[in-house]
Amino acid sequence: MFAAAEAGGEKIDLDTLFDSNCITPGTPFMAELHEHIQFFIQKKVREDPVWQRFQTIYSGHNVPVRKHLTKHRNRLASANTCATCHRQLQLR
């Protein structure tokens, strides 16, 4: 790709080729990356038996305070697991 551009006489400055500031929440780069990651996860869960055995939780760039959200989801998962076990015991 670069060889063709340089053969055409274009000068490529590798320092300005990629702006690392685009890897921050709210940028178009992160929005597009978020869509690709979601697609990948959905495809794996749909097609891969190993992925189907687990619950996948993905928090994208647009989810605030990931650390607290993860703790909250872990508490919910524990509560749901206990409630599910309790319901199964009641049904027996």
Confidence band of 65 (pLDDT split at 50, 70, 90): low
pLDDT at 40: 95
* DSSP 8-class letter at 23: S
The token pair that represents 80 in the structure block: 């749901």
**Residue 44 reports pLDDT greater than 50:** yes
pLDDT in tens, 70-86: 676 777 676 655 444 44
**Residue 55 reports pLDDT greater than 60:** yes
Is 63 within 8 Å of 38 (Cβ atoms)? no
More reliable by pLDDT, 52 or 22? 52
pTM above 0.85, yes or no: no
- How far apart (Å, rounded) are the C-alpha atoms in residues 42 and 49? 12
Is 41 within 8 Å of 62 (Cβ atoms)? no
pLDDT at 12: 73
